[in-house]
Structure 1
C-alpha cells in the first residue's frame, strides 16, 4: 500500500502535464473566440481527486479579462475534447487563472535596467 501512495503524486504531475499539452493544442485548434489569442499555458495544477484543474495562462493580448472570459466560456468544450484524449476516470473541471509571474518578471527586469542606467549616469 505504501508503494501506491508514493506513486500518486507522480501520477498527478503526469496527468497535469498531459492536460497542459493537450489543452495547448486544443486551444489553438478548437477555440474560435477572438478574445482567445496569443495564449500560452504556463502550468496546470490538478486536485488529488482529479475533479478540478487550475490552468495557468499568459497572454500578449492587453485584454486579459477578455481572454480569461473567453477561455472560461470554452472550458466545457475543451473538457469534452480532453475526455476523448485522456485515459483517466474523471476529467477535471477547468478553471483558467492568469499567471502574472511573467509580467512581474518583465517589470522587475525593466526596473533593474532603469536602475543600472541611472547608476551609469551618476558615475
Structure 2
C-alpha cells in the first residue's frame, strides 16, 4: 500500500467532514441510525473511488440497516459532496460498516472481567512467606 501524500490526506479529511455533515443533516431515510459516524475515508489518488468507513452505535441490525439506507442514498450523497467539495472528479462512494470500535469495547470488557477474576482469586496479604533476607 502506498503512503498517502499530504494532498491526498487533506482530501480524505475534507471528504470525511463533509460526508459526516451530509449524513447527519441531509438524509431523511428512517433506516439510517441517528448515532452514525464516519470513522475514516480513503479516496484513491485519481479521485475516482472512495471507501467510507461507517460506525453505528447500536446493534448489528441497526448497522446493516444504516448501510442499506446509505447505499440507497448514494446518488444524493455524491451529488451533495460534489456541490460542497470542489474536486476534479467526485468519487464513487462505497460505504463499509466498521465495527472496530465495538470490537475494542468488547475486548476491554473481557479484559476487565479477567483481571477482576484474577484479583478475586488472590490472597489478601502480600507479605513475603519466608523471613530470610534477600541478598
* Same fold, TM-score > 0.5, yes or no: yes
2:77 corresponds to: 78
Return the alpha-carbon distance in structure 2 between the equivalents of residues 116 and 99 of structure 1. 28
Match of 1:34 among 6, 9, 30: 30
Structure of higher CA gyration radius: 2
What is the distance in 1 between the residues matched to 2:24 and 2:64? 19
Aligned counterparts, 1:29-108, within 5 A: 29-37=25-33, 38-62=35-59, 63=61, 64-108=63-107
1:117 and 2:116 are equivalent in the alignment: yes
- Secondary structure at the residue paired with 1:104? helix
Deviation at 1:61, TM superposition (A): 3.0
Deviation readout 1:62-87 (Å, 9 max, x if unpaired): 22111111111111101001111111
Residue 21 (1) aligns with residue 20 (2): no
- The runs of 5 or more residues in structure 1 that have no matched partner are 1-7
Within 2, Cα distance between the matches of 1:16 and 1:75? 18
User: CA separation in 1, counterparts of 2:55 and 2:28?
Assistant: 18
Give distance in 2, aligned partners of 1:9 and 1:100.
27
> Structure 1 or 2: larger helix share?
1
Unmatched runs of 5 consecutive residues or more in structure 2: 123-135
Structure 1 stretches of 4+ moved >4 Å = none
Counterpart CA distance in 2 for 1:96 and 1:61 is: 17
Q: TM-score, normalised by structure 1?
A: 0.89
